[in-house]
Amino acid sequence: MRINKLIMVTLAVLCINFILVPIFYLLITTEPFSFLEILKDKEFWASVQISFLGAFCSSIIGLFMGLPFGFLVARKNFPAKSILESITFLPIVIPHVAVGIMLLCFFSKIGIPIVDTVWGIIVAMCFVSISYSISSCIMGFRSVDPELEWTARSLGASASYTFFRITLPLVFPYIARGFILSFARALSEVGAILIIAYYPKSIPVLIYERFENFGLRKAVPITSFVILLSLFIFSLIIFLERRSAKNKEKKYVF
């Protein structure tokens, strides 16, 4: 029994170290003055602006579509429900270079220009990240006990009041978590964007270009910045998960 526990602990430590050691190694070995160079790099800040704008817009679009779909899947029974839910995970499993080619063919066919445009970046980001918004919304609506809503309705609350004042606040931490995960995934996308819109350059494309043209010396500072940003987003996710747990403990009086 002790041997099994020792093996489990050893594997757990190896897993954590496999994730953390390369991250912290890169951060602590990045030369401090290189960050000063990044702060003066206009191309870098332009890529930050493009990436954040694209990730924000794509996450909003994904949430706008994912929220009603999540409610439908979580609360309604209809034919092929499980198939439709499975389809929402396709963007995760399709290679993202293939996503870029697929979207490029489709939008070219219908006559909408997306090549080397911000709209092309948003479309690519939205496609690869929308699964996270949908799955989080589904989890959120499934976490709310329908009896809570039925109780509110039996006490005279309208359907819209029950949804917006009771259900939605309980689901909100899941919605926020889905938005953040979608934002993070969109921010890191490179494969589809390289095919659709190399310009204007997003952060991952800029990292790729700097590495190809100048090697590690120019790519490492930007990479370190992206890692720090990812750590911030991770901390925000943990905070929202804890807030979600606290919300579940609250009692509602109607």
In this structure, are residues 103 and 124 in contact, taking their beta carbons and an 8 Å threshold?
A: yes
The per-residue pLDDT for 42 is: 86
pLDDT value, residue 38: 79
CATH architecture of 48-202: Orthogonal Bundle (1.10)
15-74, pLDDT tens digit by residue?
A: 888 988 888 888 888 877 777 777 788 888 899 899 989 999 999 999 999 899 988 888
* pLDDT value of position 151: 82
Query: Residue 253 has what pLDDT?
Result: 45
Structural contact between residues 199 and 116, judged by C-beta atoms closer than 8 angstroms: yes
CB 186 within 8 A of CB 52: no
State residue 103's pLDDT score.
Answer: 93
pLDDT of residue 134: 92
pLDDT for res 1 = 62
Q: Which pLDDT score, from 0 to 100, does residue 58 have?
A: 94
Confidence at residue 249, expressed as pLDDT on a 0 to 100 scale: 53
Residue 254 is predicted with a pLDDT of 45
**Domain residue spans in the chain?**
48-202
Q: For position 244, what pLDDT does the model report?
A: 61
The ranges of the chain with pLDDT < 50 are 251-254
- Residue 125 is predicted with a pLDDT of 94
